Every structure is written in structure tokens, then in C-alpha cells.
Amino acid sequence: MLAVRFTNFLANALTVLAVLILLAALLLWVAHRPYFQIKNVALESSQGGQLHYVQVDALAHDIQGKVTGGFFDINLDEARRVFEAIPWVRRAQVKREWPNQLRVTIEEQEPLAFWNDEQLINRWGEVFTADKAPLSRTGQADVIPQLNGPEQSERLVIQRYAEVARWVAPLGLDIQQVTLSPRYAWDVVLSNGMQLLIGRDPAAEATDPHGRSGAQSFAARIERFIQAWPDLSERLAGRAIARADLRYNDGFAITLAPQDNSE
């Protein structure tokens, strides 16, 4: 009797297992039908509105053959990494949409400045590489500044850029370029073409093996020049300054721009 019961139990279990296998095979077959293969990618901006830098046609070309699978089996993490590897994409969120579409929410890079020769730097202090054509198309290529510095110095350069921008804003000027040399000396070019030689910053001694003690701080040199600017402008009577050397402990030196004597 016990043997009969065991035999019936085993037969029922095998039957259930066979049914489950058939169902799994059926589901797998259905999941791989062309109807459920990802055919469309819907893009949207995380900031709302249109995408400013990511070109839809170029993106479609970049992801071709890299985002594959169907609604049920696509790896969303892998798909996200594919989108985040595209220039001008800072972050991406990827979701399935029934029955064969992906919805991708893109956070675009927000360019703050050009960085060194070929890269850009965003508003979070992150360096990235991207085609600069969108900047020319939107007119930003002519207005965003050029920042230069040694490797791993981008956050320090951004900090100093922001400080100088605040100092010169009351003069109606912007920053055109900020350069930090390998020996941690600062060189700034303003929007009117005037060059400020600020020199080395004692505050950078922690990262600068050539740091010197006793030198005036970055802010003190800028402040001294800005405070002298109204009187200096009056004395120059409209003459333009080509360069101001702020590296002196007790003052600064200026070089006047050549006068236009054509009139």
C-alpha cells in the first residue's frame, strides 16, 4: 500500500514538473517572439523640455547593436551603462514600456568651461569629453571660459575661477581664461583682454611641493588690485591695461596696451 502511494506521489510530482517545464518553455518562447523585442527608444530630458546637447540621430547610431534584447530579458543596468557612455550624457535612467519600448531619461552634462586642450568641465567639477559642435550651435563656445591646470586640479581651478569672477563682477568684467601652471602659479585673462599675473598661492602648499611661506594669499592680491581700480582707471583716462602683475608683496605693476593712433 505504501509503495502504491509513493508511486502515485512520484507520478503526480513528475506530471507537475513536466507541466512546469512546458510552461517555462512556452513563456521563454513567447518572450523571444519578435513582437517583444525592443524596437523603440523614447528619450526625455531629466530637466524637462528638449535635449540641448544630445543629438537623437547620433545617439541612435551610438547605441546600435549595443542595446539588445526583449521586454522580458533586457538587462537594464547594461543598457544604462551604454547610454551613459555617450558624449553629453551625465546620467541615464532606463525603464521598460510595454510591449517593446525603452524610456530613457537623460541628465545632460551642463558645461561650465573648456578644460585644458580637448575636454570640458561641468558644473559639478567633473571633467568629460564630448563633441564641441553643440556649443557652437547654441552660441556658448564664445562665452564659456577656458580653464587650464595640472591633472586632478580641476576643483581648485573652479574654486579660484568663481572667486575671481566675484571680484571682477562689480567692474563689469567676466573671466575669459584661468590657468594654473604645473608650479601652481595663477594667470587670469579677463573679458576685456587684460591679463592678471597673480603668481603662486600659499593656500595650495598642501598640494604644491614647491609651496613657499610668507607670500600673500591669492585673495589678498586680487583684493588689492580691485580696490585700486577706480583710482587707477581715473588716472589712466581711458587707456587700456594689457597686463597687471600682482605678484609683488607691496603693490603691482601694469603694462598698458598699445594706443591706436590711426585716428
Q: In angstroms, rounded to a whole number, what is the distance separating the alpha carbons of residues 132 and 69?
A: 33
Helix ranges restricted to H, 76-217: 76-84, 133-138, 154-168
Structure confidence at residue 138 (pLDDT): 82
Structure confidence at residue 84 (pLDDT): 95
Torsion angle (degrees, nearest 10) of CA 231, 232, 234, 236: 160
Structure confidence at residue 212 (pLDDT): 45
Structure confidence at residue 156 (pLDDT): 92
Q: In angstroms, rounded to a whole number, what is the distance separating the alpha carbons of residues 92 and 203?
A: 38
Read off the C-alpha cell for 177.
581664461
Print pLDDT tens along the chain (263 aa): 666 665 766 666 666 666 666 565 555 555 554 657 888 899 999 988 889 999 888 888 889 889 888 888 899 999 999 999 999 999 999 999 999 999 999 999 999 999 998 899 999 999 999 999 899 888 888 899 999 999 999 999 999 999 999 999 999 999 999 999 998 899 999 999 999 999 987 665 554 444 444 456 888 899 999 999 999 989 998 899 999 999 998 889 999 998 866 54
Structure confidence at residue 64 (pLDDT): 86
Q: In angstroms, rounded to a whole number, what is the distance separating the alpha carbons of residues 185 and 187?
A: 7
Report pTM.
Answer: 0.79
CA-angle at 260, arms to 254 and 263, nearest 5°: 150
Q: In angstroms, rounded to a whole number, what is the distance separating the alpha carbons of residues 194 and 217?
A: 21
Q: Give, as one character, the DSSP assignment of residue 127.
A: E
Structure confidence at residue 214 (pLDDT): 43
Q: Which domains does the chain have, with CATH numbers?
A: 35-108 (3.10.20.310), 145-256 (3.40.50.11690)
Structure confidence at residue 71 (pLDDT): 86
Structure confidence at residue 4 (pLDDT): 63
